[in-house]
Amino acid sequence: MIPYGRQTIEDDDIEAVTRVLRGDWLTTGPMVDEFEAAVSSFVGRKYGVAVANGTAALHVAMHAAGIGPGDEVITTPITFAATSNSVLYCGATPVFADVCADTLLIDPDSIEKKITPRTKAIAPVDYAGQPCDFDRLEAIAKKHGLLLIVDACHSLGGHYKAKPAGGFGDMAVFSFHPVKQITTGEGGLIVTDDEALYKKMRSFRNHGITTDHRQRAQQGAWFYEMVELGYNYRITDIQCALGFSQLKKLPRWIERRQEIAARYDAAFSAIDGIDGLSCQAGVSHAYHLYVVRIDREKTGCDRQAAFMRMREAGIGVNVHYVPVHYHPYYRQTLGTGAGDCPVAEAAYEEILSLPIYPGLTDEQVDEVVRALTCAVGVNA
Ligand SMILES: *Cc1c(COP(=O)(O)O)cnc(C)c1O
C-alpha cells in the first residue's frame, strides 16, 4: 500500500537520537532549547516553545492568549478537530467560518460575518500546506482587536509573500507527527515574537511552574513555585534531537513535495472532472497534502467509489477532513450541523487526498494518476 503520507528517516537522524540516548539529558535538556531556537529562527520568529504534540501546542497557545469561558474563537471546519478542540479545552466556544471554494482556506468574508462582541481570536489553518490570505486576516484581526492564532501544522516550509509560514499572527503552531513535513514521532511547537506569551507558554507546559528542572539544577536550587494550573506537556530531548536533525533537510523535502504536486497538477489539468485545489499568487505551498476534487457530474463517479477503488488498488488515499461541525460531539454540545458552512460541506463530498511525501517516486506518482483515472473511469 502506498500511504498518503510518510516520514523520511535518514542515518544522520538515527545518529542524532542515539547521541542523546548516550548523554545526560533525556528530557528538558539542551536539545529542547536547540530545537526551539532552530525552528523559530527558520520561520523568522523570536521565541519557540516545544511541547508533546501539536494538539498540546494549540492548547498552550489558546491558554496563553487568555481564551476562556464566554469567549468565541473563529476557525475553519476543514481541519483536524484538534484546532477547535483546543478552544473547548479553555471553556470557550469555537465558531465555524466557511472556506473559499478554490483553496478550502478560511474565507475572510465569512470570518467578518461571524464576528460578535464575544469574539476574542481567529484561528485559521494553513490547510494542505498553503498559507492563508494573511494580508486580509491580519487586517481583520487589527480592525476588530482580535488575536490571530495560526494553526500552521500543515505549512512548515511554505511561504506567503516571501515570509515563512508560521511567521504570521500572535502565535503560530506546528505539529511533528510522522505525516507532517518533519517529525519528532510526536511533537509540537508554538512560535511567537511576544516575550510575555513565551513565558506563559513555557510555564503552562510544565505544570504552571516558573522554572524547569535544568534551570534549578544549574542554579543549585531546589525551591520552585507553581503559579497557575498547567499540564505536563513537555517534549523529550530524544524527540528534539530527531526534529533538529530533520529540520536541516526540510528545504530539500519541500522542493520534492512541490515537484510531486507539479506532476499531479500537470496530469490532472488534462482531465475533466479531477481538479486540484488552487494556489494563491505569491504563495509557496508546503504540500502537506495533495487534495483533488472528484466532480461526480463530469466523471459519473463519486468520491466514495473513487476512495474504495483506490484502496483496492493499494493506494492509501484519505479524506481531509470530515467538517468538524459535523462530528456528533459538536452537534450535541454546540448544536452545529449541516447548513452551517455550505462551501465546506459541498467540498467535503468531493475531496480526496492523494499520496505525497518526499520518498514518493515519479513512477509511484504516475501509478497513482493511472489508478485514479481508472477508478473514476475517465481517460488521461
Ligand atoms: C496534525 C495536526 C494537528 C495536531 O496534531 P498532533 O497529532 O497533536 O501533533 C493540529 N491541527 C492540524 C490541522 C493538524 O493537521
Grid cell at residue 366 = 504516475
DSSP state of 277: P
Mean pLDDT of 106-133: 98
- pLDDT for residue 206 is more than 70: yes
Grid cell at residue 146 = 482580535
pLDDT at 379: 64
Ligand 1 atom 6 nearest Cα = 54
Question: Residues 42-82: pLDDT tens digits?
Answer: 999 999 999 999 999 999 999 999 999 999 999 999 999 99
CA distances from 82 to 54, 85, 94, 258 (A): 8, 5, 11, 26
pLDDT at 217: 84
How close is the Cα of 79 to the center of ligand 1, in Å? Answer: 9
Least confident of 28-32, 36-40, 202-206, 209-213: 209-213
- Which residues does a 6 A CB cutoff place in the pocket of ligand 1? 53-55, 79-80, 82-83, 125, 151, 153-154, 175, 177, 188
Mean pLDDT of 10-23: 98
Phi, psi of 322 (to 5 degrees): -65, 125
- pLDDT for residue 374 is more than 90: yes
Q: Nearest 5°: CA angle at 287, between 160 and 290?
A: 135
The C-alpha atoms of residue 302 and residue 314 are separated, in whole angstroms, by 19
Q: What string of DSSP letters covers 121-142?
A: EEE-B-GGG----HHHHHHHHH
Question: Residues 268-304: pLDDT tens digits?
Answer: 999 999 999 999 999 999 999 999 999 999 999 999 9
Ligand 1 pocket, mutate which of 76, 150, 177 (most atoms under 8 A from CB): 177
Q: Given the residues 114, 143, 180, 248, select the one marked as catalytic.
A: 180
DSSP state of 326: G
pLDDT at 84: 98
Mean pLDDT, rounded, of the chain: 97
pLDDT at 222: 86
pLDDT at 212: 83
Q: If we measure between CA atoms, which residue out of 126, 136, 124, 199 comes closest to residue 164?
A: 126
Residue 142 falls in the annotated catalytic set: no
Least confident of 211-215, 261-265, 283-287: 211-215
Q: If we measure between CA atoms, which residue out of 176, 242, 187, 235 comes closest to residue 10?
A: 242
The C-alpha atoms of residue 332 and residue 337 are separated, in whole angstroms, by 9
Q: What percent of the chain has pLDDT over 90?
A: 95
pLDDT at 31: 98
> Please, is 59 exposed, middle or buried when counting C-beta atoms within 10 Å of its C-beta (0-12, 13-18, 19+)?
buried
Enumerate residues 6+ apart whose C-beta is below 8 A from 49.
Answer: 36, 57, 60, 189, 190, 192, 198, 201, 202, 205
Which of the two residues, 216 and 39, has the higher pLDDT score? 39
Alpha helices in 7-145 (DSSP H): 11-21, 30-42, 54-64, 82-89, 108-114, 134-144
> Please, is 22 exposed, middle or buried when counting C-beta atoms within 10 Å of its C-beta (0-12, 13-18, 19+)?
exposed
How close is the Cα of 273 to the center of ligand 1, in Å? Answer: 30
Mean pLDDT of 244-249: 98
The strand pair at 351-354 and 283-284 is best described as unpaired
pLDDT at 380: 55
Decide if 47 contacts 67 (C-beta within 8 A). Answer: no
Mean pLDDT of 317-325: 98
How close is the Cα of 62 to the center of ligand 1, in Å? Answer: 15
How close is the Cα of 233 to the center of ligand 1, in Å? Answer: 15
